[in-house]
Amino acid sequence: MILYRPVRHTLVALLSLAAAYCLVATPVLAAPAEKGRRPPPAAVPAPAAVTEATAAPTAPGTLVLVADADDLIAEIKPAGGEGKVVGLKIGENRVETPAGDATVAVSTKTGRKVGDYKVTIVGGEAQNLPIVSRGTLIVKLAKDASLAVDDMDIEWESDQFTVSVAPGLHSVIVQRPGFFGQKGQLEVTLGKTATLVPTLDEFDAGGKKTFAWVGIIGGGVLVIGALVVDATTRFDEFGGDTVRWTLLGAGAAAFVGGTVMLKNAMDEVAPINDATFSIRLARTPGGGLVALRTQF
């Protein structure tokens, strides 16, 4: 019993020391392990790369459509933009269009195709595009003549008239007082000038003009003869006044009758004969019109 107690106390002391050691040493030994098990610090994101500045859009350009007529329609289709349809007037028609290649389809309001064009528009600049949709017809004729093109009467004030017409065949009627009229067809070429100088034959109105001039001249001769007889003969010679008044009356009647007949012959409408018009062709200077007064 005496030996048992010291042993027991010794064991108790050893156990107490061991317990104390565990209480003190365990947190110290465990700290590095706990520290090792901590999640690594979150990575700091790298600064975002600086993107290049977005390029500014190219400025649009201006398409200048130079038209020779009022009845044209242009459909503009830019390669990188929305298309548009524009009605054209004579002269410059300015349309803002995205820069780059573009196609332009031009037709008349009646549906006649004029042409397809390709243009390149430069930003901030103007690009001219001449549109030639017609030809030019020049008619040289006397001022007192009349002209009808495609059944439309033309008025003029000089001996030359210039008209813009669509390419193709056109009917032409030329008339002038005292001359046979002419009618026929001529062809006008796109972008070219056709010059017409018709030659008209004199209209005698079935011989009426000839007879009228015979009456006028003969009547004048008789009147002059009556005056000569009156001045050179005595009152009772050659039958007295009978000869004088007969010559004078016949002369006056012939002169007046001839004058009336001539006027009627001049007023008579001359027939219009079929004709084959001969024209001279020439390219219109600059691709445009020499003059523009009436359109067809």
Host domain of residue 93:
61-131
Output DSSP code: residue 201: P
158 and 282 both lie in a single domain:
yes
In a domain, 27, yes or no: no
Return the number of other C-beta atoms located less than 10 Å from residue 194's C-beta. 21
Q: What is the CATH number of the domain that holds 158?
A: 2.60.40.1120
* Separation of first and last alpha carbons in the chain: 148
Residue showing tokens 């001529």: 186
pTM: 0.52
Indicate the pairing of strand 152-154 with strand 113-121: unpaired
Q: Are residues 148 and 282 in the same domain?
A: yes
Is 12 contained in some domain?
A: no
Total structural domains within the chain = 3
Q: How far apart are CA 71 and CA 150, in angstroms?
A: 18
| Residues 278, 182 share a domain | yes
Query: What is the token pair recorded at 219?
Result: 């009547």
Same domain, 191 and 229: no
Tokens 């524009």 locate to 86
Residues 127 and 65 in one domain: yes
Q: How far is CA 133 from the centre of its chain?
A: 6
Q: Verify that 140 and 283 share a domain, yes or no.
A: yes
Q: Are 194 and 170 in contact (CB under 8 A)?
A: no
Decide if 4 is inside a domain.
Answer: no
Successive 10-residue mean pLDDT values, the chain, 296 residues? 56 64 54 52 54 63 93 90 90 92 93 92 92 88 85 79 86 87 88 86 73 80 77 61 74 82 70 74 41 33
**Sign, Cα dihedral of 201, 207, 209, 213:** positive
241 in any annotated domain: yes
Q: Does 122 fall in a domain? A: yes
Same structural domain, 158 and 108: no
- The CATH number that applies at residue 71 is 2.60.40.1110
State how far the Cα of 195 lies from the Cα of 182, in Å rounded to an integer: 16
For residues 281 and 194, is the Cβ–Cβ distance under 8 A?
Answer: yes
Within a domain: 126: yes
55 inside domain = no
pLDDT at position 284 is 45
Question: For residue 121, what are its two tokens?
Answer: 């528009």
- Give the pLDDT of residue 81: 74
Kindly state whether residues 158 and 277 are assigned to the same domain. yes
One domain for residues 154 and 249 = no
In Å, what is the CA distance from 3 to each residue of 6, 9, 17, 189?
6, 10, 21, 146
Ranges of H-type helices in the chain = 4-36, 208-232, 241-267
pLDDT for 240: 56
Q: Residue 102: enclosing H or E segment and its boundaries?
A: strand 100-108
Look at phi and psi of residue 241 and say left if phi exceeds 0, alpha if psi is from -120 to 50, else beta. Answer: alpha
Q: Are residues 86 and 101 in the same domain?
A: yes
